[in-house]
Structure 1
Amino acid sequence: MAGAQFVVGHPAPPLRPFVDRYLGYREPAPHPLIRTEVAGAFVVLVLGWGAPLDVVDPRAAERAAYGVDSFVAGPFDAYCTTSTVGVGAGVQLLLAPLAARRILGVPLSELANRAVAVSQLGDPWLDRLRGRLAEERDWPARFTLLDAALHARLAATGPVDRRLDRAWARLAGSGGRLGVATLADELGWSRRHLAARFGQEVGLTPKTAGRLLRFQRAYAMLARGPLAGPTAVRAGAADAGWAARAAHLGYYDQSHLIRDFRRFAGATPAALGGAGSHSSNTG
């Protein structure tokens, strides 16, 4: 059986504010393969044509998707797991939430903390796109097809509310550190109105989105490689490197950062930094 293949594609420049990257994959799993997928303020879209998988939120099995090759997930405010066996193939996209709102055509409050088969979204265009992707001859051709399809979809759907676009840009630009009161004042909204509008369209409260954005920065820092200088070798060990990073990222202290890692990734930074840790969502 051929080995695993992973190919990263970069969306066309006009799409990059909306789509982080394309990840094409063909991965054999002769035995059950189970992964922990970290939480995030993004939306995961998988368009696949290989072995099906299960996407499960350990907190609530009814929010899971079972036996799917193509699905949309999130945003999630806790980690979930995926499991599969066989040869998986497809493309994974990480979408900014308000871009996902336009691409999918539904408020993200309907998808928060849920995994939903693409075939159940109502509009069949993504299911048709999945079939066309499977028929393409190679990854560059698939990525070109995705560029065209997403550009057309976004061109046909305007922003839900430009003030929400501004709110997301400010929150993401601050790495989740911008306070909700400050954000509401900048928009000329009450905190209650901001929470209601943001929650409806983004699927998260501004406070939770800020926590996830902050965590994503910390997780990406971990994924880039070993920390400079001494690193912790056991969960809960004192680590000046992570303590400094916690302060830089806007956490109260290192314990605060570790609590978020346990909730959003299911493990401490020290455990995730060890050999064998993996998530396909690198933040």
Structure 2
Amino acid sequence: MTTDGAGGTGDQDHAPTMAGLPPRGIGRFGTIVGRVTPLVVPPALLPWVAGIDVATAAASAAVDVPDHATTLLLRVDSGELVVMGPRTRAAYHLGPPGRSCVRVRMRPGGAGALLGRPPRDLADRVLPLRALPGLDVDRLAADPIAALETALTDRPEPAGRLEEAARLLAGTTVAAAAARLHLSERRLRTLFTEGTGLSPKRFARIDRVRAVLAAGPGRWSDIAATAGYYDQSHMTAEFRRFMGVTPAAFAGGRRPAATRCAA
């Protein structure tokens, strides 16, 4: 019998799967919070923006799972704007119940076009948006969607090759993705680092962890295979590296202690 490192039996196939998670949903933003209300992305923003929603904190801990996207975040109560770079580790935190945030998740390459700088130095960082050029911050705080439409009207759309590479990496290796795109692996690494702030290998690893988190009912071994891992033990090790606990511990609610959100 294996153990999960959190006080219980671990990742055997009879353990609870991610289907046991509350129906709050991980969603495209990869954050487990009290309530999420998706908003429609206007057609004019679709080349740059993957999703917009309003997230409202509950009394329980929120989980920011690893994410390869850069996200703009507007705190509704204070009007504070921040940019969250790609997250390479999960964060567990507590915030005041009822606090709401408008979140804008950018497509691969979209953040660079909006912020006027490549996101290569934004990984695992949260910065006040006033520290970044290229936006009318006051207007963005007053009406995020309208401000984004204005800001992006004359900006070049992200390179289609970057988003195509991101899709390929969800189901194949870095070498195979580079070959499909007729690029060298070195060129693909440069493209990803400049456009997303992550290497293609790290991008793909985060994508697999998110696939496990979003999995429906099933055996852990089947979930591992579907998500693209070599086997169940590979999935368990990778999940622990990114999430701090094994899949079974996470699904069973045995998670790292949450810290209070200071912002």
For normalisation by structure 2, the TM-score amounts to: 0.72
More strand by share: 1
Change (3 A) 1:181 1:151: same
Give the CA deviation at 1:156. Answer: 1.8
- Say which of 189, 193, 198 aligns to 1:195: 189
Q: Give the number of the structure whose residues are more often helix, by fraction.
A: 1
**What's the CA shift for 1:161?**
3.9
Q: Deviation at 1:81?
A: 4.2
Deviation at 1:264, TM superposition (A): 2.1
Please name the residue that 2:237 is paired with.
259
- Aligned partners of 1:23 and 1:98: how far apart in 2? 20
1:243 is displaced (CA, Å) by 0.4
The residue type paired with residue 159 of structure 1 is: E
Asked if structure 2 preserves the Cα contact closer than 8 Å seen for 1:119 and 1:127, the reply is: no
Q: Distance in 2 between matches of 1:118 and 1:265?
A: 27
Instruction: Decide whether aligned partners of structure 1 residues 272 and 129 sit closer, same or farther in structure 2, where only a CA change above 3 A counts.
Output: same
**What secondary structure, in the 3-state scheme, does the structure 2 residue paired with 1:91 have?**
strand
* Alignment of 1:94 onto 2:105: yes
- In 2, Cα distance between the equivalents of 1:256 and 1:96? 28
What is the aligned partner in structure 2 of residue 125 from structure 1? 136
The reply to whether residue 47 of structure 1 matches residue 67 of structure 2 is no
Given that 1:19 and 1:93 are in contact with CA atoms closer than 8 Å, whether structure 2 keeps it comes out as yes
Instruction: Give the letter aligned to residue 247 of structure 2.
Output: P
Name stretches of at least 5 consecutive residues in structure 1 with no aligned partner: 53-68, 134-144, 229-240
Deviation per CA, 1:13-45: give whole Å up to 9, x if none. Answer: 45446434322245476xxx7533111112222
Contact 1:177 1:214 in 2 (8 A): no
Distance 1:70 1:21 in 2: 17
1:250/1:11 Cα in 2 relative to 1: closer, same or farther (>3 Å)? same
Residue in 1 that maps onto 2:18: none
2:201 counterpart (192, 197, 207): 207
Q: Which residue of structure 1 aligns with residue 121 of structure 2?
A: 110
- RMSD over equivalenced CA pairs, Å: 3.0
Matches of 1:28 and 1:211, distance apart in 2: 29
Query: Could you tell me how far 1:196 is from its partner in structure 2?
Result: 2.0
Alpha carbons 2:70, 2:86 under 8 Å: kept: yes
The answer to which of 244-253 and 6-15 deviates more is 6-15
Match of 2:90 among 74, 79, 83: 79
Q: Is the 8 A contact 2:114 2:135 kept in 1?
A: no
Contact 1:51 1:86 in 2 (8 A): no
Matches within 5 A, 1:1-283: 6-13=36-43, 15-16=45-46, 18-27=48-57, 35-50=62-77, 69-85=80-96, 88-130=99-141, 132-133=142-143, 146=145, 148-171=146-169, 176-221=170-215, 227-228=217-218, 241-275=219-253
- Describe the SS at the equivalent of 1:258: helix
- The verdict on how the C-alpha distance between 1:221 and 1:18 changes in structure 2, with shifts beyond 3 A counting, is farther
Where in structure 1 do 4 or more consecutive aligned residues deviate above 6 Å?
Answer: 276-279
Question: Percent same amino acid among aligned pairs?
Answer: 30
The one-character-per-residue Cα deviations of 1:177-229 (angstroms, maximum 9, x if unpaired) are: 3222222223333211221232122111111111111222221125xxxx25x
Q: Distance in 1 between matches of 2:137 and 2:239?
A: 33
- In the alignment, structure 2 segments of 5+ residues that lack a partner are 1-33, 259-263
Q: Deviations over 1:31-73 (max 9, x none)?
A: xx75331111122221113269xxxxxxxxxxxxxxxx42111
1:163, distance to aligned residue in structure 2 (A): 3.2
Shift of 1:154: 3.2
Between the two structures, name the one with larger relative contact order (CA 8 Å, sep ≥ 6): 2
SS at match of 1:221: coil
Deviations 1:85-124 (CA, angstroms, capped at 9, x unpaired): 4752331222223122222222110211211111211334
